[in-house]
Amino acid sequence: MDSILVTGNGPVNGQIPIAGAKNACLTLMPATLLSEEPLTLTNAPRLSDIKTMTALLQSLGAEVSSLQDGQVQAMSSHDLTSQTADYEIVRKMRASNLVLGPLLARFGHAVVSLPGGCAIGARPMDLHVEGLEALGAEIELKDGYLYAKAPGGLKGAVHEMRFASVGATENIVMAATLAKGTTVLKNAAREPEIVDLVECLRKMGAQIAGEGTSTIEIQGVDRLHGATHQVVTDRIELGTYMLAPAICGGEVELLGGRMRLVESFAAKLDAAGVSVTETDKGLKVARKNGRVSAVDVVTEPFPGFPTDLQAQMMALMCTAEGTSVLEERIFENRFMHAPELVRMGANIEVHGGTATVTGVERLKGAPVMATDLRASVSLILAGLAAEGETTVSRVYHLDRGYEHVVRKLEGVGAKIERIKGQ
Ligand code: UD1
């Protein structure tokens, strides 16, 4: 298995291009299942998760062509042959469950495996099921699979989610586009990826209002047509690389970055002593003075501080002046990076969903292990700021969500290389 070798070597300077959002692409791709006509996505990220979604769509009979070195995904669901998302694919990636809403809406039935346990928590699907049942679906759990049907077709309804789940919002919105009548989804998630999905669905002929707020209204239509859509910038990749100059010093411009995507995160950086300014090309980030100061963080649904940047923020707090408290409120088991950071000399105590981090002057390089996608990149960031060499193993986690991580960080002067495993 490959590993990544990082050598701490001072400030980073230059520009980093930010890719299209993995999480947006993973919900935009299943949207192809809603229409017989082609859907083409541009600005797609080159990631193994996208390949997994491609394999899933192909297993349903969709045609998916990856063009322009993977930056364009051209899809057609004209001749689907199956409405079953198999465990063998779903177990690799939870976002596979996003085929449920579209398949059910277009065909009146779908069978989707439950994703099973996930390294960062239980991640059940009850909120997806409740929303689709409100639209008239009958859903039964049998042998690890959700068997969903809507014999008379889905019907619009008013439904309030108990929690603003991102995936459930996406599944319910996609399903409602082809339901009879009007659906009002209350307590909907407001993430930019949902706004991006709605913009694409609208190009396909869907009638939707209120995206980006907690009430989304969908007027069902008989059919959707083809479209071409550009995937929104990845705010998590953006936030991750914003931390490189914050943790190492120097000044980096993140190309394609927009403040509206990372408002709460940028506010925390500002409070910690890191300036973020919007330019015509992206976001420029640099420390205001020397060492950053400790700040407290609570993860929340958008527009709050994203859980997907908690591990990376913890890496920064490991070298901040003072003590910070990081509270994880979205996932119950998302501090697996903490013991790895401790191996690098960090001072962290974890109690339940709260981590208390007391900054040290300098971390020390060590062999560490990636445990999930965001944890893996937090260890790379920590390695950039550490004295000596850090080897991060199990980098297949990283390949799921960060394209060309070595090239991008090398481009701003970091000493980082990928070591091929046997
Ligand atoms: C999406 C993102 C993921 C991010 C997360 C939260 C994608 C592909 N993934 O995941 O990177 O970390 O949002 O911002 O977009 N829950 C339930 N029942 C459900 C659904 C969710 O209890 O039916 C719980 C989950 O266990 C979790 C919380 O709700 O604790 C948030 O999950 P959700 O917002 O659904 O996240 P995902 O869509 O899975």
Q: Could you read off the pLDDT of 246-270 as tens digits, one per residue?
A: 999 999 999 999 999 999 999 999 9
Ligand 1 neighbourhood includes 421 CB (under 6 angstroms): no
Domain residue ranges in the chain: 3-19+233-419, 22-230
- 11-30: per-residue pLDDT in tens? 999 999 999 999 999 999 99
Mean pLDDT of 387-394: 96
Question: Confidence band (pLDDT; 50, 70, 90) for 124?
Answer: confident
**Do 345 and 388 meet the contact criterion of CB atoms below 8 Å apart?**
no
Question: Confidence band (pLDDT; 50, 70, 90) for 119?
Answer: low
Ligand 1 neighbourhood includes 23 CB (under 6 angstroms): yes
**Which residue's alpha carbon is nearest to atom 15 within ligand 1?**
23
- 195-204: per-residue pLDDT in tens? 999 999 999 9
**Do 109 and 148 meet the contact criterion of CB atoms below 8 Å apart?**
yes
- 210-254: per-residue pLDDT in tens? 999 999 999 999 999 999 999 999 999 999 999 999 999 999 999
Mean pLDDT of 131-139: 98
Task: Provide the mean pLDDT of the chain.
Answer: 96
Q: Does residue 120 carry a pLDDT above 90? A: no
Return the biggest CA–CA distance within the chain: 65
pLDDT score, position 404: 96
Q: Does residue 98 carry a pLDDT above 80? A: yes
Q: Provide the CATH topology of domain 22-230.
A: UDP-n-acetylglucosamine1-carboxyvinyl-transferase; Chain (3.65.10)
Q: How far apart are CA 44 and CA 29, in angstroms?
A: 10
Q: Does residue 389 carry a pLDDT above 70? A: yes
Q: Does residue 300 carry a pLDDT above 80? A: yes
Percent of the chain clearing pLDDT 90 (strictly above)? 92
Mean pLDDT of 120-138: 88
Q: Does residue 121 carry a pLDDT above 70? A: no
Question: Confidence band (pLDDT; 50, 70, 90) for 272?
Answer: very high
Q: Does residue 323 carry a pLDDT above 60? A: yes
- 66-76: per-residue pLDDT in tens? 999 999 999 99
Q: How far apart are CA 390 and CA 6, in angstroms?
A: 5
Strand segments, DSSP code E, in 8-157 are 12-17, 39-42, 63-67, 72-76, 84-85, 109-113, 138-142, 145-149
Assess whether 25 carries a catalytic annotation.
Answer: no
The preferred substitution site among 52, 97, 123, 298 for testing ligand 1, maximizing ligand atoms within 8 Å of CB, is 123
Ligand 1 neighbourhood includes 167 CB (under 6 angstroms): yes
Which of 104, 107, 111 lies closest to 59 in space, CA to CA?
A: 111
Question: Confidence band (pLDDT; 50, 70, 90) for 116?
Answer: low
Q: Does 3.65.10.10 match the CATH number of domain 3-19+233-419?
A: yes
Which of 278, 154, 174 lies closest to 218 in space, CA to CA?
A: 174
Ligand 1 neighbourhood includes 308 CB (under 6 angstroms): yes
Question: Which whole-number Å values give the CA distances from 265 to 236, 262, 299, 306, in the listed order?
Answer: 10, 5, 10, 8
Domain 3-19+233-419 and domain 22-230 have a common topology: yes
Distance 421 CA to ligand 1 centre (A): 32
